[in-house]
C-alpha cells in the first residue's frame, strides 16, 4: 500500500508544532516533514524529551534478556539483510531442542526475564518445531523454578508458519473474504503458539511500509497490510507486540513518516478495541508497547554500497518517532544497533528504554575482528544502569510487558518486593 502525504498550504514552524504538542494534539505528516527538515535538530530533540517526560518522568528502562536465533536459513534474500544463509551455505545453522534447552537454562541462571527468539523463513522445518521451541523454553525455566517470557516470531515468520501448517488460505485474494481467510490462518498459528507459552510478538519485519521500498529492498516479504493484520490478530488475542522501522537505506524521510502514521492508526484501532474482524475476544486486547527505530547496517548486505544513516539522522529519527507516534508509550533506543553512547544521548531525545543485556546478537554485527567477537555483545546490568544514570534518569528494570522487576540476585519477581 502506498499513501501520499497530506499537504498544507504553508509549512508549520517548529514553534507552532511545539504549541500543538504541548496541547496534546496529533501532528500531521506535513508537520513531520518540518521535524525532519528543520536545521534546529536540538529543538526537535528537546520537544521529544518533553513528551518522553510526560509519559515516564525520570524513569528509563532496561531489561535482562537473551536473544536466541533458532536458524539463519531463509527462503528470502532481502537486500538489506546480512543474516540469512541458504541451507548449504557456509555458516548456515538450525538449532535443535537440546541447544534451545541449554540456552534457556543459561538464561535462567543469568537471571534473565525474557528470551527474544526469531529466525529466517526456514523452508524445511516442520510446523511442530515452532510450538516445541516455545514449550521447551517455558518448561526449562519452570523446571528451574523460574519463568521466561518468550517474545518470539516476527509477523513475517507467523505468516510463514501459517503457510507451513497449510492454514494460510486466500494469499492472493484481494477481497474481504480473502483477508478474512488469511487472518483465520494467522489466528490458528498464534493460538497454538500462545498455548505453548508465547508471551508477545517482537517488532521485526516491518521495515518500511511502502510498496516501492518493499519491491526494491525486500521483495517477497509480506507487505504492510499483512504485517499489520498479524499484529491486529495478536492484539485481539490479548498479546502485546512491538513495532520497528528499518531506516537509512533506499527509503526517504517521507516514507518513514507514512510508516509512522500507519502504525499510529493501527495503534488507535488497538487501543479503541476495534481491531478488524476480532470480535468476542475474552482476554483484554493487546497493543503496541514500543516503537524501535533500527538504523540500517550496510556491511555484508546487497546494499553495501549505501552509506547507512549517521549519528544525527539516528537521533532525529528517534525523536521524530516519539513525536509522531503519540499513542505508543515506549520508544526503544536499541543499544546493540545504536551503540551505548548513542543510546544515552537518545534517552535525552525521546527514548525511555535501551533494551537489555543481550549477550549474542547476530542479525547485525559490529565488526571487531573475529566473527565471534562481533556477535558476542553483552553488557552487564551495572553498565546499563550507569549509562542511564549518566543520561540523567533513574534506571528501572522492566520485564517484557514493562512491569517493574524486583530481584534478589538471579531470583526475580514482577512488582514490589
Smallest distance from ligand V47 to CB 290, Å? 6
Window 320 to 359, contacts with ligand V47 (CB under 6 A)? 334, 355
Backbone angles phi, psi at 359, to 5 degrees: 75, -80
In 119-210 the beta strands, taken as DSSP E runs, fall at 149-152, 198-201
In 226-351 the beta strands, taken as DSSP E runs, fall at 240-247, 288-295, 330-331
Q: Which of 389, 385, 387 is nearest to 398 (CA)?
A: 385
- Judged by CB under 6 A, which stretch of 79-87, 100-108, 142-150, 180-188 contacts ligand V47? 79-87
Question: Per rule CB under 6 A, is residue 29 in the interface with ligand V47?
Answer: no
Q: Which of 70, 141, 61, 155 is nearest to 107 (CA)?
A: 141
Query: Which residues on adjacent β-strands are paired with residue 359?
Result: 377
Q: Which is nearer to ligand V47, 270 or 363 (CB)?
A: 363
Question: Per rule CB under 6 A, is residue 197 in the interface with ligand V47?
Answer: no
- Residue 250 near residue 306, CB atoms below 8 Å: yes
Number of Cβ atoms within 10 Å of the Cβ of 164: 20
Per the listing, cell 518448561 goes with 139
Smallest distance from ligand V47 to CB 246, Å? 4
301: left (phi over 0), alpha (psi -120 to 50) or beta: beta
Smallest distance from ligand V47 to CB 224, Å? 13
Question: Per rule CB under 6 A, is residue 237 in the interface with ligand V47?
Answer: no
Smallest distance from ligand V47 to CB 228, Å? 15
Separation of alpha carbons 248 and 345, rounded Å: 19
Q: What is the contact mask toward ligand V47 in residues 144 to 163, using x (rule: CB under 6 A)?
A: ----------x---------
Window 253 to 312, contacts with ligand V47 (CB under 6 A)? 292, 294, 296-297, 301
- Judged by CB under 6 A, which stretch of 36-44, 239-247, 267-275, 341-349 contacts ligand V47? 239-247
Smallest distance from ligand V47 to CB 61, Å? 12
Question: Per rule CB under 6 A, is residue 244 in the interface with ligand V47?
Answer: yes
Q: Which of 184, 187, 204 is nearest to 239 (CA)?
A: 187
Separation of alpha carbons 15 and 35, rounded Å: 11
- Judged by CB under 6 A, which stretch of 20-28, 91-99, 124-132, 240-248 contacts ligand V47? 240-248
**Of 80, 129, 227, 393, which one interacts with ligand V47 (CB under 6 A)?**
80
Residues forming contacts to ligand V47 in the complex (CB under 6 A) are: 80-83, 154, 202-205, 207, 242, 244, 246, 292, 294, 296-297, 301, 334, 355, 363-364
Amino acid at each position: 500500500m502506498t499513501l501520499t502525504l497530506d499537504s498544507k498550504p504553508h509549512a508549520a514552524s517548529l514553534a507552532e508544532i511545539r504549541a500543538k504538542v504541548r496541547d496534546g494534539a496529533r501532528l500531521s505528516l506535513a508537520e513531520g516533514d518540518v521535524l525532519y527538515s528543520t536545521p534546529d535538530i536540538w529543538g526537535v530533540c528537546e520537544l521529544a524529551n518533553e513528551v518522553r517526560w510526560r509519559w515516564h518522568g525520570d524513569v528509563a528502562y532496561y531489561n535482562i534478556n537473551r536473544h536466541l536465533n533458532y536458524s539463519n536459513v531463509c527462503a528470502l534474500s532481502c537486500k538489506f539483510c546480512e543474516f540469512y544463509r541458504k541451507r548449504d551455505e557456509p555458516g548456515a545453522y538450525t538449532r535443535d531442542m537440546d541447544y534451545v534447552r541449554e540456552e534457556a537454562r543459561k538464561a535462567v541462571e543469568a537471571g534473565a526475564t525474557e528470551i527474544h527468539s526469531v529466525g529466517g523463513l526456514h523452508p524445511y522445518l516442520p510446523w511442530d518445531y515452532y510450538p516445541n521451541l516455545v514449550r521447551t523454553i517455558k518448561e526449562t525455566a519452570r523446571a528451574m523454578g523460574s519463568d521466561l517470557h518468550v517474545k518470539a516470531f516476527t509477523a513475517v515468520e507467523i505468516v510463514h508458519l501459517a503457510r507451513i501448517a497449510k492454514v494460510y488460505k486466500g494469499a492472493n485474494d484481494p477481497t474481504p473474504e480473502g483477508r478474512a481467510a488469511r487472518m483465520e490462518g494467522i489466528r490458528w498459528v498464534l493460538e497454538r503458539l500462545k498455548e505453548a507459552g508465547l508471551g508477545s510478538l517482537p517488532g521485526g519485519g516491518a521495515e518500511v511500509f511502502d510498496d516501492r521500498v518493499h519491491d526494491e529492498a525486500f521483495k517477497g516479504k509480506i507487505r504492510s497490510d499483512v504485517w499489520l493484520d498479524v499484529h491486529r490478530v495478536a492484539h485481539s488475542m490479548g498479546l502485546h507486540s512491538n513495532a520497528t522501522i528499518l531506516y537509512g537505506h533506499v527509503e526517504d524521510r517521507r516514507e518513514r513518516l507514512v510508516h509512522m502514521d500507519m502504525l499510529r492508526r493501527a495503534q488507535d484501532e488497538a487501543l479503541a478495541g476495534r481491531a478488524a474482524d476480532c470480535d468476542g475476544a475474552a482476554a483484554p486486547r493487546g497493543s503496541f508497547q514500543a516503537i524501535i527505530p533500527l538504523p540500517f547496517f550496510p556491511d555484508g548486505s546487497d546494499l553495501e554500497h549505501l552509506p547507512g544513516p549517521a549519528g544525527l539522522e539516528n537521533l532525529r529519527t528517534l525523536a521524530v518517532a516519539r513525536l509522531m507516534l503519540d499513542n505508543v508509550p515506549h520508544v526503544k533506543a536499541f543499544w546493540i544497533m545504536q551503540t551505548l553512547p548513542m543510546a544515552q544521548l537518545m534517552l535525552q531525545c525521546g527514548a525511555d528504554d535501551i533494551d537489555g543485556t543481550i549477550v549474542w546478537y547476530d542479525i547485525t554485527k559490529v565488526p571487531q575482528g573475529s566473527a565471534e567477537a562481533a556477535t558476542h555483545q553483552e553488557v552487564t546490568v551495572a553498565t546499563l544502569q550507569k549509562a542511564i544514570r549518566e543520561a540523567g534518569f533513574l534506571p528501572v528494570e522492566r520485564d517484557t510487558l514493562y512491569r517493574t522487576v524486583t530481584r534478589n540476585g538471579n531470583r526475580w519477581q514482577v512488582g514490589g518486593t
